[in-house]
Structure 1
Amino acid sequence: MARIFGTDGVRGLANRDITATLALELGQAAARHILSTLPPERLEDEHKPKAIIGRDTRVSGEFLSHAIAAGLASAGMDVIRIGVVPTPAVAYLMASGDYDLGVMISASHNPMPDNGIKFFARGGFKLDDAVEDQIQALLESGDWEAPIADGVGEIETDPATADRAYIEHLVAACGTPLKGLRIAVDCANGAASFVGPEALREAGADVVVMNASPDGRNINDDCGSTHPEQLQAVTVASKAAFGVAFDGDADRCLAVDHEGNLIDGDQIMGMLALGLKNEGRLAEDTLVVTVMSNLGLLLAMKENGIKTVQTGVGDRYVLESILANGYQLGGEQSGHLINAHYATTGDGVLTALMIAREVKRSGKSLKDLTSFVKRLPQTLINVPNVDKNRIDDEELQAAIRKTEDFLGESGRVLLRASGTEPLVRVMVEAATQTESDAAAARLADVVAHRLAL
């Protein structure tokens, strides 16, 4: 079997790729791994190892949460199903509570027919690749002796406790009363439909709520961070100070200023990093970004005395760099932002509160606070049907160097092989859109010619 874990858990079409059988067996394998790693004294305790399971609002999350709960309990773990919660709520509970395994059932910003399963370890961190591989090996082995009698686990449901603990954590992290601040919030009919607006209200904000009526089928449907058009209109019409949009599991957040202009993850990161630096609270005066962050952000940070560290694409790589080097803040252009003082994963609602805190503290508009990050024109071309493993082709690399020399310090080139398809992504940033489009088109032609299958 090919590796089933991707960059963010196991994901695919619900009931086709992500089936009840897979969820049950994956739960059994995960529980077996946890039990094999616990010290003997833990296994002799009166209480069994405990797992929590959260999910987003997809209708398929119902049967998948029951199935994975059955798998965990049948392998000897007690289980608490905490219902519909954001992914970062599961991470927070794993960091603050006495749990051995966290499970989140979600396909994040993907359309409703998809779903996924991701795991969190004690401390609130996603599992390492090596641990995922061990779980998959147990899943494939099929050779184990299931417990009987008192050896099986119990399953209970307790959603209210999780909501309350997570909301209190968010409000405390904000630390600034938001009274007088009107904020438009697009919940994507997803996991933050309750806790997102409630956390902002409890922090003192006047909240204009939209797309917070999930029916199991409308998650991410022309709304949320992947479709911010509604939020842009409502923010202006309601005279809100700004608006925020979450995705289906609320681990990302994009924003809109009072004029309806979209503020992406790069601009949000830049604003928050500069605010923390001005307060003397930005660890190592460093912001962690991915290679996909706009060059304009890197230049703005340099001009303001903030170092940037680049990682591969994916919030897990951002977190690895933060933890390894004692940094605090990092994220992705897509709106995955991690503030390691308060969270162990991207947290959209926390990001919304951090934006609100900065707007309130500074007395400035979000437009003014983010205006120093000048986004360079960017062009992205996907070149399909190529051998992505030959991306180091000499003539292609020579073409890249020639383009980089032409662009100089006012632009850059990035080529990335897709992790799942036979295609190469060509990204170019330049001083003008015309230069960016032309350079990207030339390189895409070279890729198509040199790497043709």
Structure 2
Amino acid sequence: MTRKYFGTDGIRGATNLHPMTADMAMKVGMAAGAHFRRGDHRHRVVIGKDTRLSGYMLENALVAGFTSMGMDVTLVGPMPTPAVAMLTRSMRADLGVMISASHNPFADNGIKLFGPDGYKLSDADEHAIEALIENEPVLSAAADIGRARRVEDARGRYIHAAKTTFPDDLTLEGLKIVVDCANGAAYQVAPTALWELGAEVVTLGVTPNGKNINDRCGSTAPEAMCETVVASGAHIGVALDGDADRLIVADETGRVVDGDQLMAVIAEGWSNSGRLNRAGLVATVMSNLGLERHLSGLGLDLVRTRVGDRYVLEAMREGRHNVGGEQSGHIILSDYATTGDGLIAALQVLAELVRANALASEVLHRFAPVPQLLKNVRFSGGRPLENDDVKSVIAKAEEELNGSGRLVIRPSGTEPVIRVMAEGDDKRQVEAVVDRICDAVRSAA
């Protein structure tokens, strides 16, 4: 069944345009409150947000919705998405909400929901909530309306939880670290955690004004971090996105290290110490073939999923893996968190760097990526991938790449775009294959 409002990561859109309006946020609060109102206990929801201007509006609307259903609301203010998931569990709440559009520009916003176990909601829960949005639930009696309160020490609780994932026998003393918080949710917690573990911290993206989140900073725009690492003589740079569930790193030369390399670093380190479950990790179809080959050489498996962290997590839980993620830097370490956590992933990478006692450029680049090319083809209607000519071109491309590369073609889940990705040992062959398929899709569209 197709979901009407929920995408692969909650509800998201341009602020003050349907569905990202105050009215819809209140309806989401009412519907989610009704769905999770089970039993006779006093029900509670934890609400966090990133630093977007529209967060105030959506936060107040959600509070109105939840309290009208008799749920008490705990407000934790600007906090990373994984922190909200963690606090939902530790506070024994019935529901957690993160107001964020992740790495999108400030004008967008979103609503992510977590169940009492700290995991993102199942398809069944999202369908049930959508049905309640369409058919407004029964409100609580006046005497049963919920209350709202702010928790002032939420940041400290998350910082402590993140620090406990760093090995007790190690310290960050002697390391100079550039941390770019994207003017987002981690602008206070990430620099503090690194400093408390002993690092000399150089900060970027820690002056949010409501409109500068992800603006030429953070994991989607790491150029400033890379330049600052070189200019300041830092040992490593760490860049998070707006809600701090993604991580991109730079070595001491300013060279970017993506999620594939970081997963390889963590998986190999954990494998050597006997901590890696199932002798492998989970990644999406977009992860580089070089990662798969590298892991295979170590005797480790790579399980691939559809694009989206929810599918990575589903495969991790099903296969009992404890390391998974995406090339974009969304890394899930299920020993510590129920969703991607940029700070915790950074601490595991830093632990491997400290243990190696070597330069980041020597530690973090575990494999040579094969040439990979991704192009998007926008179309106005129809289903171009079902066209016979397109199918024929794709089939010939797959035959051509067989044994030396991969082909991934998929429609976008959020816009009328076909994404065409190919990778292989021959860069010119990869480029030619992608161009041929894109031309065929354009003709069919």
Structure 1: any 5+ residue segments left out of the alignment?
none
Contact 1:14/1:115 (8 A) holds in 2? yes
Q: Which moved more, 1:397-406 or 1:422-431?
A: 397-406
After the TM superposition, which of the residue ranges 259-268 and 387-396 deviates more from structure 2?
A: 387-396
Give the aligned partner of residue 413 of structure 2. 419
Overall identity of the aligned pairs, in %? 45
Q: 1:147 aligns with which of 130, 140, 143?
A: 140
3-state SS in 2 of match to 1:224? coil
Q: Are 1:318 and 2:312 an aligned pair?
A: yes
* Counterpart amino acid of residue 12 in structure 1: G
Cα distance, 1:386 vs structure 2 = 6.2
Structure 1 residue 114 displacement after superposition: 0.6
In 2, distance between residues paired with 1:369 and 1:155?
47
Instruction: For 1:166 and 1:318, locate their aligned partners in 2 and report how far apart those are by CA, in whole Å.
Output: 24
For structure 2, which runs of at least 5 residues remain unmatched after alignment?
A: none
Equivalent residue for 1:80, pick from 74, 85, 89:
74
Kindly state the Cα deviation for residue 396 of structure 1 after the two structures are TM-superposed. 3.1
Distance 1:77 1:426 in 2: 46
Within 5 Å, give how 1:313-352 maps onto structure 2.
313-352=307-346
Q: 1:32 aligns with which of 14, 34, 57?
A: 34
SS of residue matched to 1:226: coil
Q: 8 Å contact 2:237–2:249 — kept in the other structure?
A: yes
Residues 54-96 of structure 1: CA distance to partner in whole angstroms, max 9, x if unpaired? 0000111011111101110011000011101000000111232
Secondary structure of the 2:219 match is helix
Q: Tell me how far apart the structure 2 counterparts of residues 365 and 115 of structure 1 sit (CA, whole Å).
A: 39
Name the counterpart of 1:181. 175
1:272-283 correspondence runs (5 A): 272-283=266-277
What corresponds to 1:162 in structure 2?
A: 154
Give the match's secondary structure for 2:130: helix
Where in structure 2 are the equivalents of 1:61-100 lying within 5 Å?
A: 61-100=55-94
Please tell me whether residue 135 in structure 1 is matched to residue 111 in structure 2: no
Residues 1:301 and 2:302 aligned together: no
Deviation at 1:377, TM superposition (A): 1.2
Identify the range of structure 1 (195-204 vs 310-319) with the bigger mean alpha-carbon deviation: 195-204
Question: What is the aligned length?
Answer: 441
Supply the distance in 2 between the matched residues of 1:60 and 1:138 (Cα, whole angstroms). Answer: 24
Contact 2:3-2:127 within 8 A present in 1 as well: no
SS in 1 for 2:242: coil
Distance in 2 separating the partners of 1:166 and 1:222: 27
Deviation at 1:296, TM superposition (A): 1.0
Moved more, 409-418 or 215-224: 409-418
- 8 Å CA contact retained: 2:72, 2:146: yes
Q: In the alignment, which residue of structure 2 is the partner of 1:433?
A: 427
Tell me, what secondary structure is at the counterpart of 1:391?
helix
Once the two structures are superposed, residues 248-270 of structure 1 have per-residue CA deviations (whole angstroms, 9 ceiling, x without a partner) of: 00010100010000101111111
Distance in structure 1 (CA, Å) of the matches to 2:261 and 2:3: 38
Bigger shift: residues 176-185 or 338-347: 176-185
Q: 1:195 aligns with which of 189, 193, 200?
A: 189
- Which residue in the other structure is 1:6 paired with? 7
**One-letter amino acid matched to 2:6:** F
1:403 partner amino acid: A
Kindly provide the amino acid, as one letter, of the partner of residue 141 in structure 2: I
The two structures have a TM-score, normalised by structure 1, of 0.94
Provide the C-alpha distance between the structure 1 equivalents of 2:17 and 2:409, rounded to a whole number of angstroms: 33
Q: Distance in 2 between matches of 1:364 and 1:432?
A: 32
Please report how far the alpha carbon of residue 339 of structure 1 lies from its aligned counterpart in structure 2 after TM superposition: 0.4
| Contact 2:45/2:88, CA 8 A, preserved across alignment | no
Counterpart CA distance in 2 for 1:95 and 1:313 is 27
Q: Structure 2 matches for 1:194-343, cutoff 5 A?
A: 194-343=188-337
1:318-348 deviation line (CA, Å, top 9, x unaligned):
1111111111100001110000000000001
Q: In 1, Cα distance between the equivalents of 2:267 and 2:288?
A: 15
- CA contact under 8 A between 1:386 and 1:448: conserved in structure 2? no
**Distance (whole Å) between structure 2 residues aligned to residue 387 and residue 294 of structure 1:** 31
Once residues 296 and 316 of structure 1 are traced to their aligned partners in structure 2, the CA distance between those partners, rounded to angstroms, is 23
Preserved CA contact (<8 Å) 1:387 1:423: no
2:280 and 2:395 map into 1 onto residues whose CA distance is: 28
TM-score by length of 2: 0.96
**After superposition, what is the alpha-carbon deviation per residue over 1:14-45, rounded to whole angstroms, capped at 9, x for unaligned?**
1223111111111011101111xx23xxx1x4
